[in-house]
């Protein structure tokens, strides 16, 4: 038997590769189609947002939070606003609270639509992605009606929200969530989620056990996909989430092993339904009129202190560690994002899978590059 002299191939995937969401780079060690490991190389989108925070006043930092995760800007806004309000002890009007929740949950739906669609796009199914974008268009219209922006909303402000609801906003939102809940998700599942090829691609790939997920600090849907029932909205409620009734979907090995790519995918599909439920309740409970903003002084200075607030973003927990020295801008602001730890686990999960599986794994984590780099 002759011995072939083989050697491992070093492949450079990215920064401009069709399936790296944003600007990511992976260095792959492959043996033909099989992969020894994939080492992520990040930092291409590092904009120094934490440094910027130390240079600008508290209110002026709000637009920068949009850019942490541009697919879910209202959620990032909300996290930062809650952090500063809790440190400074600012009470906000009730209506503003509801408007915030509606904006954040709409954003979660919009973000998950892109995440699910992009995963399928990476696996070669183009049509579900376009269908998902079609629904996201309605979300964009709703947010535009609400605050005038379609991507970087900058809607939540410290002390409230920027705009009151426009006329007929409630009916339009109700129509949108009814459509998503009753028609779109079922249609999407028929088209994509229950497709045999898709299931075969996702099941038993990139398995993360619950212990491993906790060990590697995974958060959000990626943690819940491994079967850990933990959601900041439930376990450590902020804003008015404690008044709303919703479930926390967790993975349970729907078609294969617990914690595989399909579980993470399915958790996101279920979360869209839960978000619809939350929005419907918030729309019912929201007062018809009222103040939407507590007026702050222009040179707003919170008291001296430290605070760590966690909020639930579409890509997992977004934590803001804020240190204030009593000045006009934060002394130090650390933003802990969900994609950051998801990205770190990839080199571990990707050992011994195929190149095509890596694409599925990246997609199932729903990584957004600017959130990793900040």
- The least CB distance from residue 210 to other proteins, in Å, is 10
DSSP-derived 3-state class of residue 319: strand
- The nearer residue to other proteins, 49 or 149, going by C-beta atoms, is 49
- The nearer residue to other proteins, 149 or 356, going by C-beta atoms, is 356
Q: Would you count residue 9 as binding other proteins (CB under 8 A)? A: yes
Can you say whether the dihedral through the CA atoms of 275, 365, 313, 232 is positive or negative?
A: positive
Do the Cβ atoms of 58 and 333 come closer than 8 Å? Answer: no
Q: Would you count residue 293 as binding other proteins (CB under 8 A)? A: no
Q: Would you count residue 216 as binding other proteins (CB under 8 A)? A: yes
- The nearer residue to other proteins, 154 or 338, going by C-beta atoms, is 338
The HSE-up count of residue 296 (CA atoms within 13 Å, CB side) is 25
Q: Per the structure block, which two tokens stand in for 127?
A: 């049509």
195 vs 243: CA distance, rounded Å? 38
Q: Would you count residue 55 as binding other proteins (CB under 8 A)? A: no
Place of tokens 């709000």: 62
Q: Would you count residue 332 as binding other proteins (CB under 8 A)? A: yes
Do the Cβ atoms of 107 and 153 come closer than 8 Å? Answer: yes
Place of tokens 């997920």: 213
Q: Which stretch binds other proteins (CB under 8 A): 254-262, 263-271, 274-282, 304-312?
A: 304-312
List, in sequence order, the alpha helices (H) in 13-72: 49-53, 62-66
Q: Would you count residue 11 as binding other proteins (CB under 8 A)? A: yes
Q: Would you count residue 355 as binding other proteins (CB under 8 A)? A: yes
Place of tokens 């619950």: 210
Q: Would you count residue 281 as binding other proteins (CB under 8 A)? A: no
Q: Would you count residue 84 as binding other proteins (CB under 8 A)? A: no
- The nearer residue to other proteins, 258 or 355, going by C-beta atoms, is 355
Q: Would you count residue 168 as binding other proteins (CB under 8 A)? A: no
Report the 10 Å Cβ neighbour count for 334.
14
Q: Would you count residue 225 as binding other proteins (CB under 8 A)? A: no
Closest CA to 40 of 280, 356, 281, 345: 345
Q: Is 355 exposed, middle or buried (0-12, 13-18, 19+ CB in 10 A)?
A: middle
- The least CB distance from residue 121 to other proteins, in Å, is 7
Q: Would you count residue 189 as binding other proteins (CB under 8 A)? A: no
Q: Would you count residue 309 as binding other proteins (CB under 8 A)? A: yes
27 vs 175: CA distance, rounded Å? 45
Q: Which stretch binds other proteins (CB under 8 A): 62-70, 142-150, 247-255, 313-321?
A: 313-321
367 vs 374: CA distance, rounded Å? 13
Residues near other proteins, by CB under 8 A: 9, 11, 17-19, 32-33, 42-43, 46, 48, 50-51, 54, 86-87, 120-127, 130-131, 134, 191-192, 195, 197-198, 200-201, 214-219, 228, 230, 235-236, 305-310, 317, 319, 321, 323, 331-332, 334, 336, 340-341, 343-345, 354-357, 359, 373-374
């Amino acid at each position: 038997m002759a011995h072939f002299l083989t050697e491992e191939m070093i492949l450079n995937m990215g920064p401009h590769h069709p399936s790296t969401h944003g600007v990511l780079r992976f260095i792959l060690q492959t043996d033909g189609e099989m992969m020894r490991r994939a080492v992520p190389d990040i930092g291409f989108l590092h904009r120094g947002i934490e440094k910027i925070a130390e240079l600008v006043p508290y209110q002026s930092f709000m637009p920068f939070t949009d850019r942490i995760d541009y697919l879910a800007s209202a959620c990032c806004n909300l996290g930062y606003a809650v952090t500063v309000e809790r440190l400074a002890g600012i009470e906000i009007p009730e209506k503003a609270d509801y408007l915030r929740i509606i904006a954040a949950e709409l954003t979660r739906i919009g973000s998950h639509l892109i995440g699910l669609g992009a995963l399928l796009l990476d696996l070669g199914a183009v049509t579900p992605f376009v269908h998902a974008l079609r629904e996201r268009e309605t979300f964009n219209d709703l947010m535009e009606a609400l605050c005038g922006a379609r991507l970087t909303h900058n809607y939540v402000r410290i002390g409230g929200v920027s705009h009151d609801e426009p006329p007929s906003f409630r009916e339009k939102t109700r129509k949108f969530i009814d459509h998503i809940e009753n028609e779109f998700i079922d249609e999407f599942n028929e088209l994509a989620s229950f497709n045999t090829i898709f299931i075969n691609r996702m099941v038993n790939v990139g398995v993360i056990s619950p212990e491993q997920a906790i060990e590697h600090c995974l958060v959000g849907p990626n943690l819940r996909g491994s079967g850990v029932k933990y959601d900041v909205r439930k376990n450590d409620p902020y804003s008015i989430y404690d008044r709303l009734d919703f479930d926390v979907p967790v993975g349970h090995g729907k078609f294969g092993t617990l914690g595989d790519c399909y579980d993470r995918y399915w958790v996101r599909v279920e979360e869209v339904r839960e978000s619809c439920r939350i929005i419907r309740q918030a729309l019912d409970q929201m007062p018809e009129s009222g103040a939407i903003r507590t007026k702050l002084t222009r040179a707003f200075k919170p008291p001296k202190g430290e605070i760590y607030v966690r909020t639930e973003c579409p890509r997992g927990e977004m934590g803001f560690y804020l240190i204030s020295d009593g000045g006009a801008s934060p002394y130090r602001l650390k933003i802990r994002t969900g994609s950051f730890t998801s990205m770190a686990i990839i080199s571990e999960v990707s050992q011994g899978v195929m190149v095509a599986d890596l694409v599925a794994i990246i997609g199932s984590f729903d990584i957004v590059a600017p959130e990793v780099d900040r």
